[in-house]
Structure 1
Amino acid sequence: MNLLPSEILIHILDYLPQSSRKDARLVCHSFNGIVSRSQFALLASFLDPEVSTATCELIARDLTRRPSSIWSPRCSVPAKLPIPESFILALHVGLTGGRSWIGGVGPGKTAVDDVNPHGLSRRLNRPDVTEDNVRQALFRYALYLSYTHHEKEDQSSFSWVLDIKFWA
């Protein structure tokens, strides 16, 4: 496998079902880089409300890919939905092409300071990355995952977003 060009590995790994992608990332560094890069790039596209809504609407139209009951792609995003640091770090990877959050830490700051939407906006020099925009991206991405994942173990990683008791 190490002798195959990365383009061929990317093409092969694109055929993996979503449920196998976590295991594929554990195989080796090159598999992890290929699988995570594609997932984080998709995640970063959800910062654009029009793209994320269109993506969810496209998936929702395909009756074979969605569960028996779904939320509408145009539903409103809960105002108090918490944004986990892991989501912000994943967005950072998706928007920077894989750069670590640790790089670029200034004097008096630790590697985990400012892991919030404002810190992400400042690090990327992108004023369009706001708390509201990140919250919408999180919600729409979870909605997208709920449309595309049917296995119970896959759903546990994002189902909390759709459960109102977690909106503290």
Structure 2
Amino acid sequence: TYRTVPDRIVAGTWAVAAAITGGDVMVKAARASDLEIALDKLVTAGAHVEVSDQGFRVTMDRRPRAVDVVTLPYPGFPTDLQPQFIALNAIAEGAAMVTENLFEARFRFVQELRRLGADVRTDGHHALVRGTDRLSGAPVEATDVRAGAGLVLAGLVADGTTTVFDISHIDRGYAHFVRDLTGLGAAISRVDI
């Protein structure tokens, strides 16, 4: 018998979802050791992370603190969690520098995040994110799978309604994204437009 390892990026996305919304999420069967650097960043942001044999739990009871991120190949900080952390930093206290070392066009989604009111400036491989008190709902477009996840997380904490278009990108990386977020208490629905 062989059991596959749970997807660390999906697990990391749920961890950031807990932190950005001030929630409490138990990510079952996930291996915290595969996300050590990302979970450490969440702790720096103010989250509580509890690791057990069953997985890990992330809770946040405060506004996040901005955290610097530098993407690197495994076991470094995963580039596929960079958009989610930019979304987290967009509502955090303070400012943070995000450095993308792996993909040229990874910051394409930043223009969409700005539509929600995020204060993000990019220069080459760097993005300076200044946290704002709040984001405002707006129509945005998912430019890739992880950018789409980051935009949805930002939309969860934005005032008003956020509509994310081109969600087929999200479907490629998350089997039941809307259902799982709804199960965690998110006010989200999938609609045909």
TM-score w.r.t. the length of structure 1 is: 0.26
User: Larger % of strand: which?
Assistant: 2
Larger radius of gyration: 1
Structure showing greater relative contact order (alpha-carbon pairs closer than 8 Å, 6 or more residues apart): 1
User: Larger % of helix: which?
Assistant: 1
